[in-house]
Structure 1
Amino acid sequence: MNKLTYLCFLLLLIVPIKSEDREFPKEFEIFEDIEEWEVEEDAGDEYDELLESPSRRRGHRNKILVSVDAFGAVGDGVSDDTQAFVNAWTQACSSPTKSVFLVPEGKRYLVNATRFRGPCANKIVIQIQGTIVAPSEPKDWDPKNPRTWLDFYNISKAIFQGNGVIDGSGSKWWAESCKKNKSNPCKGAPTALTIDSSSAVRVKGLTIQNSQQMNFVISRSDSVRVTGVKVSSPGDSPNTDGIHITGSTNVVLQNCKIGTGDDCISIVNASSSIKMKNIFCGPGHGISIGSLGKDNSTGIVEQVVLDNALIRGTTNGLRIKTWQGGSGHVRAVRYQDVRMDNVSNPIIIDQFYCDSPTTCKNQTSAVEISQIMYRNITGTSKTQKAMKFACSDTVPCTHIVLNNINLQSLDGTVETYCNSAAGFGYGYVQPSAECLTSSDKDTTIIEEKETGSYHQNLNEHIIHTEL
């Protein structure tokens, strides 16, 4: 008996299905693919030889060590060390010999917005042992670089590693945010660390903290592995996403601890083959796909796996968020072995997302969401609706699968909310998800539509502002 036949047989044994109110999904093949798609343990790669400590590297003639101190960096946290970093990078990146760009330990290097450009002539290690700190005054920021601080562009076969810290000095930026001060205009702020248009990159062991806005962005890149990284910003710091993935493929996040004021991890358009394993999230807004579809744009995210996570004290748990009016799709997503600890909205799909100071108008088009699997999700919900599937009437969510869900409340009962969401559950599912039906509506929604109160009540269930 092959795996597909066995799964169908098992489901038929566990879940009695009434033909009049449920339709079993036919597209099992994608779930077979998701089942077999695992996050491999970090077993090293072809250029692990570069991971030796600087002290051991001195005897190797085939490597060059380039320290920023050798180019005049002071490291007192006051002197501007930007040019020293630029000059050191130029030498390390242009060297035909394998090179190490070194930021020594025990010092604080003040560096302004800088783009470290590739391609480099050979493999390179960015060894950060000390602290790199950003200018603290927004008014002193270079207007030519309004959205970036440390930007590594077009590099390949590079390793970022060390026990050092990248500190965005973001407190004054947060105070000027429109989310902190409603009288201020909303505008973007710099990202602390960006890896852009790059490939075969590894990031190991660094701490990224107090970013002006997003902490760490992986953009338009392929084959990026992030291991043992810590991201830390206050829970009330606005828009400080921990790790943000956009336009990238084959990205692995492993053994990362993230606490911030926005999404711990956010995955947005043109991203696929994203694997996450052993993730701690909190505080923050959870682990999110989206937002997608803003301003009638197209958003596509597919092949995402989260395997083993602890989410604690966040305003969302596992979230997919899309704007009305968008197009594209989110599909082939598996969340498994996730523990929730006092989390609001532990499982949420929101196709009515609206992070806007004005009300978003109703639109018929939407980003299609399908083939989403939740397995072994346990813990406590801070809100009554522990599972919320708020989907578009015209573009419903389909093929949602729940397996072994146990979400409880600390001080009451929990429930599942559905609108235009079809799927099924098997094994133990608490709270019950009977509202996931082939007709896409539970009886409450049908009755509300018949009485004309549907849209008013729907707004009470759906979160229309950033959490």
Structure 2
Amino acid sequence: MKKYIHIYLSLSLCVILNFNSYTLLAANRGKNVPKRNDSVFNVLEYGARGDGSSYDTKAFQAAWTATCKANGGVMVVPSGHTFLLQPIIFNGDKCQPNVAVQVDGIIVASTNKLDWKKNTGQWILFTKYKNGITISGNGGVFDGHGQTWWNPKADHERLVAPHAMTISNCNNVTITGIRIQNSPRMHIYIEESQEVKVFNVTVSSPGNSSNTDGIHLSRSQHVDIHNSTLACGDDCISIQAGCSDIKVYNVNCGPGHGYSIGGLGYRGSRALVSDIMIYDSNVQDSMTGVRIKTWEGGSGSVHNVTFSSITMTDVKTPITIDQHYGGARGGMAEASAVSITGITYQNITGTYTRTSVSLLCSEYKPCNNLTMAGIHLMPSKDKKQGRGGGPYCSHAYGEVLTETLPSLHNCLQPILK
């Protein structure tokens, strides 16, 4: 009898344990099982083929529409594929906050000129993101196929050469981990935007590709550009009217036209640029190193600019100010000019191939309060580069705080009071 009682109790305990186990599994069903991330949207799932020959523009647009609806949504462009895109606009005025684009594959621009008939100068346009957007990548490439645009004899029926990537009217933008190459015009064009960070970005185009600025800034504030390599056919970084609080550091520039402010004051326009810092960077095989250029007849000002700890290697003219950019109209300088004051050059070193320092300022609006310290520029040892010279100063006023090479004591005149 005791034997049967023992068996009965054992069976009862097993039933109870199994019941509790099933109850526990039911209660936790799915908790430890990976779920599909509802905030990630892969362009392949929206019809993109990624074969490099089929248009994927509509699929990208559909994937982005879905991404915008998710707070923190991410549109993924996967590796192992090449996606062909016509001009496309990613509009963020109805997007949830903190959306992102993750580019791990290759995106190429159409070379069919019919696709650019309605283009207004952009290939990939991000606009109206007021709540933040991140454009990042892990080996991702944007290829603008600019070779078909750079040839001045190319038949484009007066089509506007597009910028590769445009950021327009946005706040809180991050661009990182991508490569932009062979842009028809500017590689990254940033306008009317604030709180922009660009880092770990590579720009690559031949030195003879016309008007292919690496990063072009217009009417933008609080921009931070660092740890990037920019090689192009024009300014590595171009800073235009309406820009302030711009920091550039740990950037490698060349070939190209160096780091430029301007040209400002075109056709009598008013330009204001202030609080610019470019430091701890390099320039090589470039037309200019650090440059400020303004058109005659303009107005406004450039002030509080610092160029510091920049190494030049075989740069034609490392330090340049040109208030006669484009040449005097009618052979005579105009009485109006953009004012240039409070410019500091510190620890600018390296080699030049044409002119060490060229400060060609306006007799009507002389450059004033220029500061020079730690300037050490030698002619290039590469005889093929030509013969160096300078310095040249005209209507330039400031002070030299240390001994410089070449000597600038007799080049700058005492500060105007």
TM-score by length of 1: 0.77
Matched, 1:115 2:56: no
Q: 1:393 to 1:220 in 2, by over 3 A?
A: same
Residue of structure 2 in register with 1:350 after alignment: 322
Matched, 1:407 2:377: yes
Give the distance between the partners of 1:262 and 1:187, measured in 2 at CA: 20
Give the distance between the partners of 2:178 and 2:104, measured in 1 at CA: 9
Q: Secondary structure at the match of 1:140?
A: helix
List alignment gaps of at least 5 residues for structure 2: 1-32, 382-386
Deviation string 1:43-76 (CA, Å, 9 cap, x unpaired) is: xxxxxxxxxxxxxxx9577761111111100111
From 316, 334, 352, give the equivalent of 1:381.
Answer: 352
Q: 1:188 to 1:419 in 2, by over 3 A?
A: farther
Q: 1:328 to 1:217 in 2, by over 3 A?
A: same
Cα shift at 1:140 = 2.0
Which protein shows a greater Rg? 2
List alignment gaps of at least 5 residues for structure 1: 1-57, 441-467
Q: 1:82 to 1:62 in 2, by over 3 A?
A: closer
Q: 1:92 to 1:326 in 2, by over 3 A?
A: same
Cα RMSD (Å): 2.2
Matched, 1:78 2:60: no
Conserved? CA contact 1:354–1:360, under 8 Å: no
Matched, 1:252 2:208: no
Give the distance between the partners of 1:213 and 1:415, measured in 2 at CA: 33
Give the distance between the partners of 1:406 and 1:390, measured in 2 at CA: 20
Q: For residues 112-191 of structure 1, what are the structure 2 equivalents within 5 Å?
A: 112-119=86-93, 120-137=95-112, 139-155=113-129, 156-162=131-137, 163-175=139-151, 177=152, 188-191=160-163
Q: 1:407 to 1:185 in 2, by over 3 A?
A: farther
Conserved? CA contact 1:272–1:302, under 8 Å: yes
Q: 1:146 to 1:349 in 2, by over 3 A?
A: same
Q: 1:199 to 1:261 in 2, by over 3 A?
A: same
Conserved? CA contact 2:214–2:230, under 8 Å: yes
Conserved? CA contact 1:63–1:98, under 8 Å: no
Q: Which amino acid is the alignment partner of residue 402 of structure 2? A: G
Q: 1:425 to 1:109 in 2, by over 3 A?
A: same
**Structure 1 runs of 4+ with >6 Å offset:** 183-187
Give the distance between the partners of 1:60 and 1:157, measured in 2 at CA: 26
Q: Secondary structure at the match of 2:132?
A: strand
Q: Which amino acid is the alignment partner of residue 271 of structure 1? A: C
From 254, 259, 272, give the equivalent of 2:244.
Answer: 272
Matched, 1:397 2:367: yes
Q: Secondary structure at the match of 1:165?
A: strand
Q: 1:109 to 1:295 in 2, by over 3 A?
A: same
Give the distance between the partners of 2:327 and 2:194, measured in 1 at CA: 29
Give the distance between the partners of 2:108 and 2:173, measured in 1 at CA: 23
Give the distance between the partners of 1:367 and 1:108, measured in 2 at CA: 46
Q: Secondary structure at the match of 1:146?
A: coil
From 438, 442, 453, give the equivalent of 2:414.
Answer: 438
Share of identical aligned residues, percent?
A: 39
TM-score by length of 2: 0.86
From 254, 257, 265, give the equivalent of 1:282.
Answer: 254
Give the distance between the partners of 1:439 and 1:205, measured in 2 at CA: 45
Pairs aligned (count): 375
Give the distance between the partners of 1:324 and 1:414, measured in 2 at CA: 26
